[in-house]
Structure 1
Amino acid sequence: MKVALLTGGGDCPALNAVIRAVVRTIENAGGETIGFLEGWRGAIEGNFTPLKACETDEILPKGGTILGSSRTNPYKDPALVEKILSNFKELGLDALVAIGGDDTLGVASKLYSDYKFNTIGVPKTIDNDLSSTDFTFGFDTCLNTVMDAVDKLRTTAESHRRVMVVECMGRHAGWITAFSGIANSADAFMVPERPTLLDDVCELLKRRREAGKKYGMVLVSEGATINYKDANGNVKTVDLSQTGKKDDFGHIQLGGIGKQVADLIKSKTGIETREVVLGHLQRGGSPSAYDRVLGTRLGIHAGRLALKKDFGKMVALRGLKIVAVPLAEAVGQMRTLPEEFLDEASEFLR
């Protein structure tokens, strides 16, 4: 069997763990693997590199992906889809393992439904927002990165008696912000799932300062829904789409919500407030032990699905087991933060 791999969308820690595990599993069965470079762009252009088990052991601790990535969408042009099909046939491939998030796996799912293309998906996103799996690899490392950054910011916030607003990734789901907020005992955090009235946060920060806490930590998702009252008491909403730019999949480029929130907190409380945008720092670094193990397990089971010719599936974590679910089911709905986490965190946000 000859299997191709690709990594698409935003990078994250433990992508290389998946690659290593798929290569080892296929090679153990007498097959061979290649890696398309830069996601779907490589599949379109036929740009690839051979992958050998003996050359992939050392990639396990490396962040990012040795194959490179891109946000290329082949379905923008039917001719691009035809190129993928043609390259697949010309290279004599039997299966394609697509490692990515909702957009990457959405393409894989559509190729399977439209052409019975032999695809298998592996869920990847630091946002942890893919349905059908309990957790995605990369999420744990991201949380540890945010936690470490906020721990460091706390000391300077306390020294200068400031409020620090930390902008985290999370377009539609607040997993990163909520879990990091809990782990860092944040005074408040704001997520897309539950609208926040910023005036309430400002009152909380003032009450805590009056009670003796001379600094504040506030975490906000880049896609959070935040309302506030203007000077006339009218309720307005913080703008999320300041740039107006869109990627190949039609997503508006987010960013800048942290500064808006910081400016509003300062104007409403009179407390010196600064913002920090963690940005792509959250995607980088060596994967945690948890993510190395999860990525490895998912890669092994993806390789086994290929060997069994069980296509149109995605490997997923359910409890402690790795299971196979239909790709169409996996990309059909985004998994947002359950209400129970917000209710539990509310004990510390009063």
Structure 2
Amino acid sequence: MKKIALFTSGGDAPGMNACIRSVVRSAIYLDLEVYGIKYGYDGMIRGEIQKMESYSVSNIVQTGGTILKSARSEDFRTKEGREKAYKNLKKHGIEGLIAIGGDGTFTGANLFYDEFGIPVVGAPGTIDNDLYGSDYTIGFDTAVNTALDAIDKIRDTAASHDRVFFIEVMGRHSGYIAIQSGIGGGAEMVMVPETSTTIDDVIKKLKDGRDNKKTSSIVVVAEGDEQGSALQIAERVKAETPKMDIRVTSLGHIQRGGGPTAFDRILASRLGLAAVEGLMNGEKNVMVGVIDNKITYTNLKLAISKSKPLNEELIRLTKILSI
């Protein structure tokens, strides 16, 4: 293998640039030519492929977002679009791909490999931490710390006015951000898609808190909770407890931005090198990850199809510490 290419796709995550930097410099160190594809699969179809040098990734390890950009591609969903992408890769002599992204990115990569046989190694870049095959994904730690910083600030104003705040964090199918930021922020309750919580449960928890002389409370809600959004949940609780002073804050896309934490920079750097070495060692159609602090390779089909359960110990810890 002499030429490889990399791209970022799907939602951006802090640390993607650190991973790009690692892939480019690792490839050059290992005597490979490395190309960057801008705008993900869409750029692959349009032929936005450029050779990258060591200086191309200078001064980016500390920055959020992705210098290669990201975009959704409807054309890549078609066989014609994927064939055009394949021809553009062959035009540049590219023999292997590194895809930095989440489940949508890897679903496309898996299909692309099945149809055209180009070896692909995925590096998990998503704040949701929802991919099977890695204890942590690039961007998750930063997103948790961003959410935690917001929760800390909101708690100050909640305490000043004796209010209940419902704080919505990202996680359509995963409660990882919610559970970790909730524990770190001392939330009275955390609502996640993986566990069932009723409105009556929420009301009882808040009333018990008042009985225990808590004057303010924080409820962290993952956006994919089965009871609905934080706003919908708050409205239902307010209808049953009209005397409670309730407010809602949705953190939204602020969780995707900002400079990555040291943990994410180091994780991204390790995964970038491991992705390059994986390609050179014959790995194909796999996701590189870290399990028990060791580099692992998991089949892409397994990474995107197998669910990654929440840590039961963390769920138990939330209940114990919120009394």
Same fold (TM over 0.5): yes
Consecutive aligned runs of 4 or more in structure 1 exceeding 3 Å deviation: none
Partners of 2:205 and 2:31 in 1: CA distance: 62
| Counterpart position of 1:318 | 291
Corresponding residue of 2:259: 286
Note the C-alpha offset of 1:225.
1.4
Q: CA deviation at 1:143?
A: 0.7
1:160 maps to 161
- Corresponding residue number in structure 2 for 1:185: 186
- Residues of 2 paired with 1:70 and 1:137: CA distance? 18
Asked if 2 retains the 8 angstrom alpha-carbon contact of 1:174 and 1:336, the reply is: no
Letter in 1 for 2:190: F
Distance in 2 of aligned mates of 1:29 and 1:47: 24
- Counting aligned pairs with the same residue, the percent is 40
- Cα deviation for residue 31 of structure 1 reads 1.9
Query: Deviations along 1:324-345, whole A, 9 cap, x unmatched?
Result: 2222222222313133321232
Shift of 1:209: 1.8
Question: 1:283 corresponds to which letter in structure 2?
Answer: R
Distance 1:211 1:309 in 2: 60
- Residue 92 of structure 1: SS of its match in structure 2? coil
What's the CA shift for 1:308?
A: 2.8
Instruction: Report the alpha carbon displacement of residue 120 of structure 1 after superposing the two structures with TM.
Output: 1.2
Equivalent position of 1:299 in the other structure? 272
Report the equivalent of 2:212. 211
Alignment of 1:132-151 (within 5 A): 132-151=133-152
Contact in 2 for aligned 1:100/1:122 (Cα 8 Å): yes
For the aligned residues, what is the CA RMSD?
A: 1.4
Q: Which range is displaced more, 263-272 or 62-71?
A: 263-272
1:266 is matched with 238
Partners of 2:81 and 2:201 lie apart in 1 by: 50
Any unmatched runs of 5+ in structure 2? none
TM-score, structure 2 normalization: 0.95
CA contact (8 A) 1:35 1:50 kept: yes
Q: CA deviation at 1:74?
A: 4.8
TM-score by length of 1: 0.88
**Stretch of structure 1 that moved more, 298-307 or 108-117:** 108-117
Give the distance between the partners of 1:119 and 1:11, measured in 2 at CA.
Answer: 20
What is the alpha-carbon distance in structure 1 between the residues aligned to residue 286 and residue 135 of structure 2?
Answer: 16
1:68-112 deviation digits (Å, cap 9, x = unpaired)? 012325552111111111111111111111111011011111211
Structure 1: gaps spanning 5 or more residues: 227-237, 239-256
C-alpha contact (below 8 Å) 1:186/1:217 kept by paired residues? yes
Give per-residue Cα distances to partners, 1:231-280, cap 9 Å, x unaligned.
xxxxxxx4xxxxxxxxxxxxxxxxxx111122222222221111111000
Aligned residue pairs total: 321
Map 1:117-128 → 2, pairs under 5 A: 117-128=118-129
